[in-house]
Amino acid sequence: MSITPKEVRRIAELAHLEFSPAELERFVGQFQRILDYFEQLRQVDTKGVEPTYHGLAEIPEAGAVRPDRNQPSLAPETVLEGAPKARKGYFRVPRVIE
Amino acid sequence: MQYEPVIGLEVHAQLRTRSKVFCGCSTRFGAPPNSQTCPVCLGLPGSLPVVNGRAVEMAAMAGLALDCRINRRSLLARKNYFYPDLPKGYQISQFEEPLAVDGRVRVPLPDRGTPGVPGTLRELDVGIIRVHLEEDAGKSIHAARQDTLVNLNRCGVPLMEIVTCPDLRSGREASDFLDYLRRVLIFLSLCDGNMEEGSLRCDANVSVRPVGETSLGTKTEIKNLNSFRFLNKALDYEIRRQVRVLESGRQVVQETRLWEEDREETRPMRSKEEAHDYRYFPDPDLLPIVIPAERLEEIRKTMPELPADRARRFGSQYGLDPGDTLVATRTPEFADYFEASAERARNPKSVLNWMVGDVTHRLRKDGRGLHESPVKASDLGELIRLLDDGTISGKMAKGVFDRMYETGKSPGAIVREQNLAQISDRSELETVVSGILESHSEAVERYRNGKRGLLGFFVGQVMRQTRGQANPKMVNELLRKMLDQ
């Protein structure tokens, strides 16, 4: 399996990241090395082996759930401290719908 | 050419938990903006989500109620897209291996095909593809020509997504299904069903195809269907639109459309952010959800009776007509009140008539809900019992009911207080009737000579003497017997 510069550009777009043509070129090579490694892993016969979804999936204590209880929230002022723009307690962002 | 619409729904229901699905923030609606958030639901670096066990169990119960297979293990995945109301840049949802799959709902409906015949119900059969757990996004406010304002209180509120098979064939069927699904969720206390506040939301996938065709046409997705009326109207509009497009030789474009209530039409949604590639992958912050078989069995055992089952039981246990069983199971409160009252009254049909009539009218006039009724269910039952055993007349019952509503007193107390009890004692009435006949011997003579209209006069005399408390049926019967002998 090989990756094209077009696919790398698409992935960057989806992640809202901008790169120079040189950077994209470099990523094509790096992505390809990762994919090659997975190609190598694929050689292993895994028939009948359960997929491991998480490193801790086999440890029951790690899968503990939270009781449905309230914990204090942050103060609205604190929440909005990091917002570039705010208005009347809301985050203010450029208009989303045309 | 005749076209057939094909509709599937995606329903989002907020689960009635106290805390959010991955953190302890409150889920209360209507709090000041951004006052119910924390590092986890804001997606701040270094925070870790932990799943709310109650939310998992509630979604599993919904799966059971919709006759799904519950996966012992299901996976939480990240759905990646950018939108200002989604601070993490991804929504935690389920993709592969959702919580529940392959269900089926049989919606009981009155059979409209046979007017006046109370005997039948029909069932609308709708397949359920999947039920999964996810988190809600925040809420954006788009005022005209202004920046978008974002409130993240709703971020992380537990949502359950229910996806139906494309089994629905009209706007009406879609709203009938949604109405029943809403009742199921309310009867199980899983969701408050409030469409106005957005606790229950609905999107629809719609396509049309020539009748007889088995493959599906190109579909559009309609969003913003947040009332039964909108759902009905929007779907019927969209079906007509697609038929027009096809009939003019054009193609339906696969797109997302919004129902615009003001214009009464659907329009293509234009958004500056359109990601069609969500790049789902298992969330490395969260372990798979595991529901052990024993726990699932416990959930099944504690599941309240479903509205359709309850309706069926009302039919067999109380002898209600099929149509009436649906009326009696509109809401859990109504069904509970009905049962408590019917236990006492032993006349279920009359209980239902009173509830739909006087009880509902009085409460509506005062803007009250059934749970705020000053007349207790058992007291309504008692009133009906007094009426049925002849202690009071129908006319008196109305008065007693009003008094019960105003004072909250029991019907027995009011009857005693106002000395209302109807005289149904045969010998007592016989004495009164014969006394009246003796003192009006001339009228008796005229009656016996054919002036039958005088019966009303005698009834009036008896009523006057008993101050209206004589059992009218018995008075009539006694008068006829004694006059005609």
Q: Measure the CA–CA gap between B16 and B52, rounded to whole angstroms.
A: 12
pLDDT of residue B389: 83
pLDDT of residue B367: 92
Q: Residue A90: which of B33, B42, B275 has the nearest Cβ? A: B33
Q: Measure the CA–CA gap between B340 and B379, rounded to whole angstroms.
A: 9
Contacts of B39 in chain A (CB under 8 A): 74
Would the CB atoms of B18 and A87 count as touching at under 8 Å? Answer: no
Q: List, for residues A12-54, the tens digit of each pLDDT value.
A: 988 889 999 999 999 999 999 999 999 999 999 999 988 887 7
Pick left, alpha or beta for residue B188 (phi over 0 → left; psi -120 to 50 → alpha; otherwise beta). Answer: alpha
| Domain ranges across chain A | 5-42
**Cα angle, residue A20 at apex, residues A19 and A26 outer, rounded to 5°:** 85
Q: Does any CB of chain B come closer than 8 Å to the CB of residue A17?
A: no
Q: Residue A80: which of B17, B18, B34 has the nearest Cβ? A: B34
Over its C-alpha atoms, chain A yields an Rg (Å, rounded) of 23
pLDDT of residue B226: 84
Q: Does any CB of chain A come closer than 8 Å to the CB of residue B341?
A: no
Q: Does any CB of chain A come closer than 8 Å to the CB of residue B112?
A: no
Closest among B84, B139, B78 to B271, alpha carbons compared: B84
Would the CB atoms of B150 and A93 count as touching at under 8 Å? Answer: yes
Q: Which residues of chain B have pLDDT under 50?
A: 272-273
For B84, the closest chain A residue by CA position comes to A93
Q: How far is CA B246 from the centre of its chain?
A: 37
Contacts of A65 in chain B (CB under 8 A): 50-53, 56
Measure the CA dihedral B53/B60/B283/B90, to 10°.
Answer: -100
- A65's CB contacts (< 8 A; 6+ apart) are B50, B51, B52, B53, B56
Share of chain A above pLDDT 90, in %: 67
Would the CB atoms of A96 and B148 count as touching at under 8 Å? Answer: yes
For A94, the closest chain B residue by CA position comes to B147
The Cα diameter of chain B in Å comes to 104
Q: Measure the CA–CA gap between B300 and A25, rounded to whole angstroms.
A: 56
pLDDT of residue B427: 81
What residues does CATH 1.10.10.410 cover in chain B? 426-483
pLDDT of residue B114: 59
Confidence at A98, pLDDT banded by 50, 70, 90: low
Q: Does any CB of chain B come closer than 8 Å to the CB of residue A57?
A: yes
Q: Residue A54: which of B32, B140, B287 has the nearest Cβ? A: B287
pLDDT of residue A60: 66
Helix or strand (DSSP H, E) at B14? strand B3-14
Interface confidence (ipTM) of the complex: 0.90
Q: Measure the CA–CA gap between B206 and A5, rounded to whole angstroms.
A: 37
Query: If you search the block for the tokens 């805390």, which residue do you land on?
Result: B19
Q: Measure the CA–CA gap between B291 and B42, rounded to whole angstroms.
A: 28
pLDDT of residue B131: 98
Q: List, for residues A50-76, the tens digit of each pLDDT value.
A: 888 777 777 766 667 899 999 999 999
Sheet holding B77-80, edge to edge: B90-93, B77-80, B281-282
For B32, the closest chain A residue by CA position comes to A89
Over its C-alpha atoms, chain B yields an Rg (Å, rounded) of 31
Q: Measure the CA–CA gap between B372 and B375, rounded to whole angstroms.
A: 9
DSSP string for A18-55 = ---HHHHHHHHHHHHHHHHHHHHHTTS--TTPPP---T
pLDDT of residue B115: 58
Q: Return residues 283-302 of B near A (CB < 8 Å).
A: 284, 286-288, 290
CB-count burial class (<10 Å; 0-12, 13-18, 19+) for B63: buried
Give the CATH number of domain A5-42; options: 3.30.2130, 1.10.1740, 1.10.10, 1.10.20.
1.10.20
Contacts of A97 in chain B (CB under 8 A): 142, 148, 270-272
Query: If you search the block for the tokens 């609606």, which residue do you land on?
Result: B29
Q: Measure the CA–CA gap between B328 and B187, rounded to whole angstroms.
A: 13
**Helix axes of B307-318 and B332-345: crossing angle, nearest 10 degrees:** 10
Write out the two tokens for A66. Answer: 């939270």
**Cα angle, residue B337 at apex, residues B335 and B339 outer, rounded to 5°:** 70
What topology does CATH give the domain B426-483? Arc Repressor Mutant, subunit A (1.10.10)
* Residue A79: pLDDT over 90: yes
Closest among A32, A83, A70, A36 to B42, alpha carbons compared: A83
pLDDT of residue B223: 87
Identity (one letter) of the amino acid at B21? V
